[in-house]
Amino acid sequence: ELKVEQNPLFLSMQEGKNYTIYCNYSTTSDRLYWYRQDPGKSLESLFVLLSNGAVKQEGRLMASLDTKARLSTLHITAAVHDLSATYFCAVGKSGGGADGLTFGKGTHLIIQP
Amino acid sequence: EPEVTQTPSHQVTQMGQEVILRCVPISNHLYFYWYRQILGQKVEFLVSFYNNEISEKSEIFDDQFSVERPDGSNFTLKIRSTKLEDSAMYFCASTRGGAFNQPQHFGDGTRLSIL
């Protein structure tokens, strides 16, 4: 059974600081996704990571994937208040094609001015 | 940009009643999904649907749940006899499929409240 663990689950930080969210998964996977969710809203796709060593960046967010360690990170650089949200990583089973995703519990991020 | 649309946005139903949640996936997408999120918890996969049949379902998706694509645009989730624990946000998602670099696109969700 595929399990996905995120940490931390809750993070309060100040604007301008850097921080990293970690996502570990339990079995081989060929695709990992990061989503953002604002309170009461839907899930917005941030990154798709498919191969070992993949790194994607968008603004102040950078995601990476280490398939050997079964670990993905989401790094926040010089945080700003607008990045306050809950961030989920989601993993698909290896060879699962377009099967359903297994989500982590999410990291609730609060960035204080 | 094309979106996944869901109706209604909020549904209040008495326990034991049937409820149908509706979704219109993005038009050129081929794979459709339902997920649920109990308040404050993680998103849980329910079912995936491709080529007019269920391709995968989770343990949550028991006999009280069913899905249907009644026409070329709608994708529905039916809960036959609702329970209190069915109260959650239900998200529909779709993806074009094929290349794995396509994320699943989520709708805004239907908040289901069972009384």
Which residues pair with residue B8 across a beta bridge?
A: none
Tell me: the pLDDT tens digits for A65-85? 999 999 999 999 999 999 999
- Chain A positions touching chain B (beta carbons under 8 Å): 30-31, 33, 35, 41-45, 48, 50, 88, 90, 92, 96-106
Q: Is the pLDDT of residue B83 over 90?
A: yes
Does the beta-carbon distance from A42 to B106 stay under 8 Å? Answer: yes
Q: Is the pLDDT of residue B99 over 70?
A: no
Which residues pair with residue A23 across a beta bridge?
A: A6, A72
Task: Determine the Cα–Cα distance for residues B68 and B49; give it in Å rounded to an integer.
Answer: 9
Most A CBs within 10 Å, among B104, B111, B113, to test the A interface:
B104
